[in-house]
Structure 1
Amino acid sequence: MVSLSAVQASNSRISTTLDPGSVAVFVGATSGIGETSMKQYARYSKAPRIYFVGRSQEAGNRITDELEALNKEGSYLFIKADVSLIKVVDDVCRDIKSKEKAINLLFLSQGSLHFHTETTEGLHTVVSLNFYSRNRFIVNLLPLIQQARGLRRVITIFAGTHEGSIYEDDFQARKVPMMKARGHLVSMITLFLEALAKKAPSVTFIHGYPGAVDGGLLRDPQGVSMYVMKIAWKVISPFITIPNLECGERHVFLATSSKYPAREGGDSGVTLGGGITIARGTDGEVGSGVYSVDQFGENSGPKVAAILSKFREEGMLEEVWNHTEEEFKRITGTVAA
């Protein structure tokens, strides 16, 4: 476990060891862990330029003011968008690409627990936000991330280290039992990151698990089961949750520490403090560029490694990649905007 004090010590060195003027994109950042993580990144960074995406203009205005109060050297641009729609993701990416030539950090935390609903593009809403939307951002912005100096990182926050069985006849998890859906989706996310890393070995890819946090996913429950879950969460959450501020600190550590290097050099993070070692990647090799990590920043264990190894042997990585590209082409006509 990486202690919170070690995380904070590493983060405190960001402004003096990393290049000023980093460019970061935070998606799903107008509430919960996305908002908290972005604020901590802004607080520690030197003259950052941050784009953040969410649905609420009111929240965007509030958070812009709060970011400016945290770090007056930075610049902050809110983009209002419903990123459950792939075509809207393309619009957002075109906007960002018209303004930037390189991006150091792409941080993705948009999500939903709206099971049994569909987007207007024919995607299962919960999977659209947690999988397709995030991956469309990555494939669209990856060329700019590869152009960055210093940090080149993609972080998607869902449930890393909880990989499970994949239902290959139902990638969108329309009929997958709710208790099995998480493992199914987690594995798909991790495998897609592995496929991306083959194309961009100079970029670090991290699939993180925030732990039990008040992320806001249950603020708008749909259906009886979600409402019951919301009530139960109110009762038990005070006893099990990690403070949002700690979660944000740990996500900044994921975004900046040299504990998580790319497979091929160039991603120069904050140097390691005493006792912290380079993480083991999802392929079992130290420093191999793709990391599935828990709420304390440690890589997944042998059970997950065995699951992922079996998927690779069976060609599931290629199946997930091909399926995702097919959906992108169905909706937009292209594999990337």
Structure 2
Amino acid sequence: MVSHSAVQASNALIASSLPSHLVAVFVGATSGIGEATLKQFAKHTREPRVYLVGRSQAAADRIISECKTLTPLGNYTFIKADVSLIRVVDDVCKQIVDREKAVNILFLSAGVIELKTGTSENLDLSLALTIYSRTRFIVNLLPLLQAAPALRRVVTVFAGTKEGPIFPNDFGCDKVSLFNIHSIRGHMCSMIDFSLEAIAKDAPSVSFIHDYPGFVDTGIFEKTSGALASVVRGVSKVSDALFRSRRERYIPIEQSGERHLFLATSARYGPANGEVLGTPLGREVAPARDSCGKVGGGVYVVDENLESASPEVEKLLGQMRQDGMREKVWKHTEGEFNRITGLMRDMEGLIDS
């Protein structure tokens, strides 16, 4: 476990060990973990350039005002968008590409607990936000990430280390019962991991992290609707009854922001090419194991204690990898992108279909 004091010590080194004018894109930053991490980023960096992508103008105005108090010389741009739609993601990325030559951090935390609700592009809403939209952001902004000096990092917040078998004939969870929550979560986690691995093969200078934040009281259960959200709310209430107070169950939102800033900036999670990027490692912090179980491989699956996945999870992913599941996931994702936009990304980059 990486201690909270080690996290804070690492974050305190950002201003002195990383350059000014870091460029960060926060997707889903108008509430919850994204907002908390953005504020920590503003607090610890020098003259950052930040893009907030979300749906609420009012929330963005409030957050930008608070961030300017923390770092008056920071530059903050809000892009209002419904990122559950792949075509909207493409438009958002074009706006960023037109303005920036490099991006240091891509932080992805948009999501809802709502299955069996479709988007206008015929994707499940929850999977659209958690898997397809995030993958599209990474693909589109990858050239800017690869061009960045000092730090090149992608963090996607979901449920890393909770992986499970993938439904090989139901990638979009169209057939599975929405009451099979744990199996759905495991399926989604493994899809995220293999998507990151597929992209990372051609981006050895970029680090990719899929993390599980633990129980953070973000209010997501109250903000989402649908049958699955109702089930999860019920389970959460029963679980809460086992604790003397919610405080014993949940990680404070500010502390979660600190942890996620650590994920986004610490040299613990280095790229596959061996570069040492990020804040220096403290005495108690060692380089992390990647999703294949080796040190410094570039794609990391991380739990709420900022530790790598268990040997059991590594074994499960390894078995599915041997069965060609990574390639199957990527082929499916390419197919969805091609269906929606007419553009396809193979392992070499974006190509016209």
TM-score, length basis structure 2: 0.93
Counterpart amino acid of residue 233 in structure 2: K
For residues 23-65 of structure 1, give each alpha carbon's deviation from its aligned partner in whole angstroms, at most 9, with x where no partner exists.
0000000000110011101111111100010111111111111
- Contact persistence 1:53–1:80 (CA under 8 A): yes
Q: In structure 2, how many angstroms separate the alpha carbons of the residues matched to 1:311 and 1:60? A: 41
Give the deviation of 1:231 after TM superposition: 5.5
Give the deviation of 1:10 after TM superposition: 0.6
Which residue in the other structure is 1:274 paired with? 283
Q: In structure 2, how many angstroms separate the alpha carbons of the residues matched to 1:78 and 1:270? A: 27
Which residue in the other structure is 2:104 paired with? 104
Which residue in the other structure is 1:239 paired with? 248
Q: In structure 2, how many angstroms separate the alpha carbons of the residues matched to 1:325 and 1:192? A: 10
- The verdict on how the C-alpha distance between 1:323 and 1:48 changes in structure 2, with shifts beyond 3 A counting, is same
Q: In structure 2, how many angstroms separate the alpha carbons of the residues matched to 1:125 and 1:70? A: 35
SS where residue 129 of structure 2 aligns?
Answer: helix
1:34-45 equivalences under 5 Å are 34-45=34-45
Which residue in the other structure is 1:6 paired with? 6
Q: In structure 2, how many angstroms separate the alpha carbons of the residues matched to 1:221 and 1:270? A: 36
- Percent identity over the alignment is 52
- Contact persistence 1:52–1:77 (CA under 8 A): yes
- The verdict on how the C-alpha distance between 1:307 and 1:76 changes in structure 2, with shifts beyond 3 A counting, is same
Q: In structure 1, how many angstroms separate the alpha carbons of the residues matched to 2:107 and 2:227? A: 32
Q: In structure 2, how many angstroms separate the alpha carbons of the residues matched to 1:194 and 1:231? A: 35
SS where residue 219 of structure 1 aligns?
Answer: helix
Q: In structure 1, how many angstroms separate the alpha carbons of the residues matched to 2:111 and 2:62? A: 21
Could you list the runs of 5+ residues in structure 2 that have no partner in the other structure? Answer: 241-245
- Contact persistence 2:40–2:258 (CA under 8 A): yes
Q: In structure 2, how many angstroms separate the alpha carbons of the residues matched to 1:53 and 1:24? A: 11
Q: In structure 1, how many angstroms separate the alpha carbons of the residues matched to 2:226 and 2:328? A: 32
Q: In structure 1, how many angstroms separate the alpha carbons of the residues matched to 2:83 and 2:281? A: 36
Give the deviation of 1:224 after TM superposition: 4.9
Which residue in the other structure is 2:307 paired with? 298
Which residue in the other structure is 1:221 paired with? 224
Q: In structure 2, how many angstroms separate the alpha carbons of the residues matched to 1:309 and 1:225? A: 30
Which residue in the other structure is 2:270 paired with? 261
Counterpart amino acid of residue 36 in structure 1: A
- Contact persistence 2:289–2:296 (CA under 8 A): yes
- Contact persistence 1:161–1:294 (CA under 8 A): yes
Which residue in the other structure is 2:130 paired with? 130
How many residues of Structure 1 are paired with residues of Structure 2 in the alignment?
A: 337
- Contact persistence 2:270–2:277 (CA under 8 A): yes
Q: In structure 2, how many angstroms separate the alpha carbons of the residues matched to 1:292 and 1:27? A: 20
Which residue in the other structure is 1:152 paired with? 152
Give the deviation of 1:227 after TM superposition: 3.1
Which residue in the other structure is 1:25 paired with? 25
SS where residue 107 of structure 2 aligns?
Answer: strand
Structure 1 segments (4+ residues) deviating >6 Å: none
Which residue in the other structure is 1:189 paired with? 192
Which residue in the other structure is 1:61 paired with? 61
Q: In structure 2, how many angstroms separate the alpha carbons of the residues matched to 1:299 and 1:11? A: 20
Which residue in the other structure is 1:113 paired with? 113
1:179 aligns with 2:182: yes
Q: Quick check: 130-139 or 229-238, which moved more?
A: 229-238
For residues 207-239 of structure 1, give each alpha carbon's deviation from its aligned partner in whole angstroms, at most 9, with x where no partner exists.
011000112321233235523543653671443
For residues 215-271 of structure 1, give each alpha carbon's deviation from its aligned partner in whole angstroms, at most 9, with x where no partner exists.
232123323552354365367144311111111101011111111100104451111
1:198 aligns with 2:201: yes
Which residue in the other structure is 2:298 paired with? 289
- Contact persistence 1:202–1:267 (CA under 8 A): no
Q: In structure 2, how many angstroms separate the alpha carbons of the residues matched to 1:69 and 1:241? A: 28
Counterpart amino acid of residue 107 in structure 1: F
Q: In structure 2, how many angstroms separate the alpha carbons of the residues matched to 1:330 and 1:256? A: 36
Give the deviation of 1:11 after TM superposition: 0.4
Counterpart amino acid of residue 325 in structure 1: E
Which residue in the other structure is 1:323 paired with? 332
- Contact persistence 1:27–1:107 (CA under 8 A): yes
Counterpart amino acid of residue 265 in structure 2: T
Q: In structure 1, how many angstroms separate the alpha carbons of the residues matched to 2:206 and 2:229? A: 37
TM-score, length basis structure 1: 0.97
Q: Quick check: 171-180 or 142-151, which moved more?
A: 171-180
Give the deviation of 1:174 after TM superposition: 2.1
Q: Quick check: 235-244 or 324-333, which moved more?
A: 235-244
1:76-91 equivalences under 5 Å are 76-91=76-91
Q: In structure 2, how many angstroms separate the alpha carbons of the residues matched to 1:14 and 1:263? A: 22
- Contact persistence 1:26–1:51 (CA under 8 A): yes
